[in-house]
């Protein structure tokens, strides 16, 4: 049974092409001592204002940015904002924008697609790793090999897709003050949050192998009684 599942997994690995895994790496940005000094001095206050708990171990000033007018707001005008990146002792990091009434704060997975706000600090070099303890807390312990941000609701509930071993993937739901939830990709098919890093065929094979493994363990347990 193990050889069968391993062989199927090898075939699936060869056929998988997760978009995030093949995305171009963030372009190298020269980070100066002045950027670090300004980030360490100013970014912690932005985190506090945004209500994000983070023991800052490193930070950088991204720059003074000009934000375009909001087309949904009448008479909206372009605004200026300071951008920062922080690395946290607790794991993971964030990109920050000083906006009103509250700053915009995104983790490094959410900001990965932004050419300006993508995380560049060495402590944030592997954003997907921040989902490992989250999945463990949700009862789905696995080593994340790929991940992407799916979006958030106006109420502050964030969604991510995480891929682990071939066929093992989850849609992770995070909300401040509540334990995370991780739903297997197989259960998210034909929903707005359907997985793209884990294919349906891979998810079905993983589920079948996991089921066969459970049956095998049960039979072994019964035979040893």
Q: Is the pLDDT of residue 15 over 60?
A: no
H helices of the chain, where? 2-15, 33-50, 131-137, 200-223
At residue 63, does pLDDT exceed 90? yes
Residues 116 and 158 in one domain: no
Q: How many CA atoms lie within 13 A of 52 on its CB side?
A: 27
Q: Which of 104, 120, 136 is the last residue of a domain?
A: 120
d(C-alpha 219, C-alpha 137), whole Å: 30
Categorize the per-residue pLDDT at 210 as very low, low, confident or very high, splitting at 50, 70 and 90. Answer: low
| Domain assignment present for 15 | yes
Do residue 82 and residue 149 come from a single domain?
Answer: no
Torsion of CA 113, 84, 45, 87, to 10 degrees: 70
One domain for residues 97 and 55? yes
User: Which among 86, 120, 154 is the end of a domain?
Assistant: 120
> Could you give the strand order of the β-sheet that contains 181-184, starting from the edge strand earlier in sequence?
146-152, 158-163, 169-174, 181-184
Does residue 219 belong to any structural domain of this protein? no
pLDDT in tens, 90-143: 888 999 999 988 999 999 999 998 999 999 999 999 999 999 999 999 999 999
Is the bond leading into 101 cis (omega within 30 degrees of zero)?
yes
Q: Does residue 223 fall inside a structural domain?
A: no
| Residues 133 and 109 occupy one common structural domain | no
Helix orientation angle between 2-15 and 200-223, rounded to the nearest 10 degrees: 170
- Tell me if 224 is assigned to some domain: no
Statement: residue 206 has pLDDT above 80? no
Q: Please, which residues bridge with residue 8 across strands? A: none
pLDDT at residue 205 above 50?
yes
Instruction: Compute the distance between CA of residue 107 and CA of residue 192 in angstroms, rounded to an integer.
Output: 22
Q: Contact, 105 vs 86, CB < 8 A?
A: no
Q: Is residue 217 part of a domain?
A: no
- Please report whether residue 191 resides in a domain: yes
Structural domain contains residue 62: yes
Residue span of the structural domain in which 143 resides: 1-23+126-212
Measured in degrees and rounded to the nearest 5, phi and psi for residue 59 equal -160, 160
17/38 same-domain check? no
Shared domain check, 187 and 111 = no
Q: What is the domain count for the chain?
A: 2
- 131 shares its domain with 103: no
Last residue of a domain, one of 102, 120, 138: 120
**Range with the lowest mean pLDDT among 50-64, 70-84, 171-185?**
70-84
Q: Is residue 89 part of a domain?
A: yes
Asked if residue 208 and residue 136 are part of one domain, the reply reads yes
Over residues 81-87, the mean pLDDT reads 97
16 with 38, same domain: the answer is no
Query: Which residue from 91, 75, 96, 190 is spatially nearest to 135, judged by alpha carbons?
Result: 91
- Tell me what pLDDT residue 203 has: 82
Of 20, 21, 18, 94, nearest in space to 56 by CA: 94
Identify whether residues 158 and 200 lie together within a single domain: yes
Mean pLDDT over the full length of the chain: 83
99 and 158 fall within a common domain: no
The SS3 assignment for 57 reads strand
- Specify whether 151 is located in the same domain as 200: yes
């Amino acid at each position: 049974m193990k050889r069968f599942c391993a062989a199927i997994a090898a075939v699936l690995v060869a056929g998988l092409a997760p978009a995030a895994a093949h995305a171009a790496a963030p372009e190298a940005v020269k980070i100066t001592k002045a950027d670090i000094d300004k980030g360490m001095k100013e970014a912690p206050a932005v985190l506090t204002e945004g209500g994000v708990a983070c023991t800052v171990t490193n930070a950088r000033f991204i720059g003074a940015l000009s934000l375009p007018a909001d087309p949904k707001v009448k008479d909206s005008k372009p605004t200026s904002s300071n951008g920062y990146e922080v690395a946290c002792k607790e794991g993971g990091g964030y990109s920050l924008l000083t906006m009103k009434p509250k700053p915009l704060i995104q983790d490094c997975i959410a900001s990965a697609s932004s050419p300006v706000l993508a995380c560049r600090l060495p402590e944030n070099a592997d954003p997907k790793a921040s989902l490992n303890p989250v999945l463990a807390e949700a009862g789905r312990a696995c080593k994340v090999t790929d991940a992407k941000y799916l979006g958030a609701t106006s109420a502050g509930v964030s969604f991510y897709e995480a891929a682990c071993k071939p066929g093992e993937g989850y849609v992770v739901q995070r909300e401040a003050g509540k334990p995370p939830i991780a739903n297997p990709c197989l259960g998210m098919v034909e929903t707005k949050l359907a997985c793209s890093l884990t294919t349906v065929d891979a998810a079905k094979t993983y589920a079948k192998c996991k089921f066969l493994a459970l049956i095998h363990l049960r039979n072994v347990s019964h035979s040893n009684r």
